[in-house]
Amino acid sequence: MPNDTNIIAVTGATGYVGGRLVPRLLNSGYKVRCLVRNIKKLTGRHWSSHENLSAVQTDLTNTDQLIDSLRGCKSAYYLIHSMITAGRDYDEVDQNIALNFSHAASDAKLERIIYLGGLGEIGGQLSEHLTSRRKVEESLAASGIPLTVLRAAMIIGSGSASFEILRYLVERLPVMVTPRWVKTKCQPISIEDVLYYMQACLENTDTADMKLDIGGSEIITYRELMRIVAEELKLPRRLIVPVPVLTPRLSSYWIHMVTPVSASIARPLAEGLANTVICRNDDSRKLLPHETQSPREAISSALKHEATNEVATSWLDAGPVPGDPDWSGGRVFVDQRTIRVAANTENLYEAIKIIGGGHGYYAADWLWRLRGVMDQMMGGPGLRRGRRDRRKIACGDALDFWRVMDADPGKRLHLYAEMKLPGKATLEFDLRQDPQDQSMSILTQVARFRPKGLTGILYWYAVKPLHGIVFSGMLNGIKKEAEKTTQLTCLTNQE
């Protein structure tokens, strides 16, 4: 049970699992300290102002800084995975960070580390991704601090990368030519069950220095999972044709084209799907008795959350938020436009923050869609990612091929382009009240582009003629939406 003197450190608090674990711990009475790369990214979470929560901006590669951040904590959850942020070098990056955390945890005198890893067969046939997860275990164990490892297969939940791959494939392809891994056996587990085990092992000291396999109530093949997803989506039965010629590399490109998951992330995941991932013992059930969900129950719950726009966290949340150093030096092209709007800054911000996803960009949507298709063909995210929430937006969120750098209601929304570009680009919306007329607001929209070499310069001049269509149209669309909301509000107040 929680103790007032205990502080629980959580790394990866803005990621898929960490973003759900933290509020669960807070609701159970724990004091939580989040170690994050960017505190602004944390402020977008509804639980960020909880009285038992503290946050420390921490560079996990800086040992001294990490020791200071961990000092005073009793236990720590290690939920760091660099696959999204480090690309092909994720294995080396993960090992270095884990070793650094191990040394810092020892110096800070932590009593316990809890790590969420991956299931998988032991031996040389283990995929590179799952092998990397085991190396992280070893690096964390080097601290000498009692380590609890929870090993899970596919986590089924709204916003989970593996589940998103599965859902999109089933949703978009009535006929699937698939790799042989669709016949592989697995033991998927719901995100709700994962969170139960993560908290339960913290409260049970018998799990210290244990490696616990956790899984759902059934062992199933990926082919059967696809069938269940189709049934829960009320779709016709999918025709699945396994063939031996699809390598993990080819599978990753195929996944990239059909789902929002990039090829760099899809490849290690696809390689891992070739491994049988089932629980080899029932230690977790003996030490932490719990009735886990079946694959169908987990899938039904995940789809229900997505349908009602209640996706608490997503794999997309793990992207880094670029900072000002990315813009230091070099030539920067600027397209700046300003407009006066007959609305207050709050209504104006509401009109701005709903751009992207299913709503679109107010003007020239066909151009945005065309750019998305081009980006996807070049290996970028395109428009497939959409957005986690149709109405809410926060620092660090993914929004189509943008990443939210700053989201300050009534003041500003800054986006960083993650599309494939010969340079770096941002799109900024800055709001302020008109000093001459309190009923008016001034909206400034700024597109910035720092080209990379001659190709970047040519790109800017090639797309510049389209800015008048795209950016002016967007600005006027936002103005129209904000003024419409203001008029409706006035009419409602009059009634």
pLDDT at 268 over 70: no
Is the same domain home to 311 and 340? no
pLDDT at 494: 64
**Is 82's pLDDT higher than 70?**
no
Quick one: 269 and 355 in the same domain? no
- Note whether 309 and 335 are same-domain residues: no
For residue 318, name the pLDDT band (cuts at 50, 70, 90). low
Q: CATH code at 222?
A: 3.40.50.720
Q: At 423, which CATH number? A: 3.30.530.20
Same domain, yes or no, for 375 and 482?
A: yes
Q: Kindly state whether residue 383 falls inside one of the protein's structural domains.
A: yes
pLDDT at 239: 87
Q: Is residue 309 located within the same domain as residue 358?
A: no
* Residue 420 in domain: yes
269 phi and psi, to 5 degrees? -65, -40
Lowest mean pLDDT segment, chosen from 53-62, 124-133, 190-199, 383-392: 124-133
Based on the fold, state whether residues 135 and 270 are members of the same structural domain.
yes
* Lowest-confidence pick of 11-25, 127-141, 312-326: 312-326
Q: Where are the alpha helices (DSSP H) in 144-210?
A: 161-172, 191-203
Specify the pLDDT at position 15: 85
Residue 324, in any domain of the structure = no
pLDDT of 281: 86
Quote the domain boundaries for residue 287: 7-315
Q: Identify the top-confidence range among 3-7, 146-150, 177-181.
A: 146-150
Strand order in the sheet with 53-57: 53-57, 31-36, 7-11, 75-78, 112-118, 147-152, 211-214
pLDDT computed for residue 71 by the predictor: 93
Does residue 231 belong to any structural domain of this protein?
Answer: yes
Domain count of the fold of the chain: 2
The answer to pTM > 0.75 is: no
20-41: average pLDDT: 90
71 or 263, which is more confident: 71
Say if CB 306 and CB 158 are below 8 A apart.
yes
Do 173 and 196 lie in a common domain?
yes
Q: Are 478 and 356 in contact (CB under 8 A)?
A: no
* Percent of the chain scoring above 70 in pLDDT: 84
More confident residue, 203 or 164: 203
CA–CA distances in Å: residue 175 to residues 169, 235, 256, 327, 479: 10, 12, 17, 46, 44
- So what's the pLDDT on residue 11? 93
Assess whether 347 and 213 both reside in one domain. Answer: no
Residue 131 included in any domain: yes
Q: Is 408 exposed, middle or buried (0-12, 13-18, 19+ CB in 10 A)?
A: middle
Beta strands in 47-154 (DSSP E): 53-57, 75-78, 112-118, 147-152
Instruction: Judge if 270 and 204 occupy the same domain.
Output: yes
pLDDT at residue number 277? 85
How much of the chain exceeds pLDDT 90, in percent? 34
Same domain, residue pair 334 and 310: no
Confidence tier at 325 by pLDDT (50, 70, 90): very low
Q: Is residue 321 a part of any domain in this protein?
A: no
Are 311 and 334 part of one and the same domain?
no
Q: Is the pLDDT of residue 255 over 90?
A: no
Question: In whole numbers, what is the pLDDT of the chain averaged over residues?
Answer: 83
pLDDT in tens, 349-382: 999 988 888 888 888 888 888 888 888 888 788 8
